[in-house]
Amino acid sequence: EIILTQSPGTLSLSPGDRATLSCRASYNTGSSHFAWYQQKPGQRPRLLVYDSSRRATDTPDRFSGSRSGPDVSLTISALEPEDCAVYFCHQYGLTPWTFGQGTKVEIK
């Protein structure tokens, strides 16, 4: 099983700041595929990025994803108040699919 470790646990930033969320896979494999989801309180998760860097439909272009080996990241170029949420990374290349434990983004 690929374990995903997200960091930091919580990110507290101001509107307009750049946010970088990290996710490290326990081992690197060319078969891995990665996605990022946003979840706001009381809501279902929403897909933001898939295949490491492809934006999902309706994802604002301030969100971008990248990958280098086992390290995957989500960058929010300029935080908006509505970006306050928990963000989860997800690998879906090798069963069992797995999720990271989440990074909470707080807006000061």
CA–CA separation, 7 and 5 (whole Å): 7
- The span from the CA of 45 to the CA of 108, in Å, is 23
Out of 9, 44, 61, 78, which residue is the one contacting other proteins (CB under 8 A)? 44
| Greatest C-alpha distance within the chain | 39
Among 14-22, 74-82, 86-94, which window interacts with other proteins (CB under 8 A)? Answer: 86-94
- Alpha-carbon Rg of the chain, whole angstroms? 13
Residue 63 touching other proteins (CB under 8 A): no
**Residue 99, burial from CB neighbour count under 10 angstroms (0-12, 13-18, 19+):** middle
Q: Does 56 bind other proteins (CB under 8 A)?
A: yes
Q: Which stretch binds other proteins (CB under 8 A): 9-17, 22-30, 38-46, 69-77?
A: 38-46
Residues interacting with other proteins, by CB under 8 A?
A: 1, 33, 35, 37, 39, 44-47, 50-51, 56-57, 86, 88, 90, 92-93, 95-102
